[in-house]
Amino acid sequence: MNQSQKSLFIDSGYQRLEVFYSKKAVAGIGAKVLDEFKLLSSQRGGLASASSLQKLPVFQQIGKLSARIKVPGLHESLSTPELIACITRLAGRPPSAIQDTQLLLSPPNQGASTLENLNWHVDIAANPKGPLPGIQAFFLIDDVAPGGGATLALAGSHRVNTQGMPTSSQLREALKTPGDLRGNLHRLGIEIIEMSGRAGDVFLMDLRVLHTPSVNSTKNVRMMATTRFFFDGSSR
């Protein structure tokens, strides 16, 4: 983790670690997820069946499917000492608490890819001028194509209400305004980051960054996982 990477993280609130894990290292996790998905899909009226999941709002589909599929050893396979060391260097101090790793799965063919009506949120409320409260890691278990349901993040949104950045009310207004969301945000100095990429990639995100699930418009299951690293008693 060099100084330019640290500076990018401080400024934008995210950092991408390309192929942090080899494709072989995550292939076993992906195979287990697909086996479990196929089993659920084959069950009559099963939760993973298209007819069952499509009755739910898109983002509830993610929660339901992710909760039903279990991969033994997931946390140990992804939240490795090497990743913790990387996060420690990035934050300048070791995490005080680490959340258990959870799957983030989206069924295929959820609909057309869109930036409208997304669930932008933060997982922890913290002062933009205060110390870093935590880092969330997003793991790509398989290749995730653009439009394939990857998590979206608003780079720079962790610095609202600070010098040179928009206010939180300006950001909320931009998110509510119909039309060119990317353009509206760009004018505020904020960019949409899509966490798509190759199997083994890891995205690290300041917990104060606004983010959202997105619609999986592809024919493939979106396979990601996540865990949160908290600092100085900020665990929630």
Q: pLDDT tens-digit profile of 144-174? A: 999 999 999 999 999 999 999 999 999 999 9
Residue 235 reports pLDDT greater than 60: no
pLDDT of residue 59: 86
Residue 48 reports pLDDT greater than 80: no
In the chain, domain spans: 3-230
Residue 21 reports pLDDT greater than 90: yes
CA quadruple 120, 124, 126, 132: dihedral sign: negative
What mean pLDDT value characterizes the chain?
91
pLDDT of residue 6: 87
Residue 124 reports pLDDT greater than 90: no
Q: Are 157 and 171 in contact (CB under 8 A)?
A: yes
Residue 2 reports pLDDT greater than 50: yes
In the numeric block, the tokens 């949160």 are attached to 228
pLDDT of residue 43: 74
* pTM across the whole model: 0.94
Which residue did the predictor score with more confidence, 45 or 121? 121
Residue 140 reports pLDDT greater than 80: yes
CATH superfamily to which 3-230 belongs: q2cbj1_9rhob like domain (2.60.120.620)
Name the least confident of 107-116, 124-133, 146-155, 211-220.
Answer: 124-133
Q: List, in sequence order, every residue forming a beta bridge with 17; answer none if it has no partner.
A: 202
Residue 66 reports pLDDT greater than 70: yes
Average pLDDT over residues 121-131: 88
Two tokens, residue 43: 């069950």
pLDDT of residue 236: 45
Which residue did the predictor score with more confidence, 178 or 198? 198
**Helical spans, DSSP H, in the chain:** 3-12, 23-42, 50-53, 58-68, 74-78, 81-91, 168-176, 181-186
Residue 146 one-letter amino acid: P
**Rounded Cα distance, 191 and 35, in Å:** 36
Banded model confidence at residue 46, pLDDT cuts 50, 70, 90: low
Banded model confidence at residue 49, pLDDT cuts 50, 70, 90: low
pLDDT of residue 147: 97
pLDDT of residue 50: 54
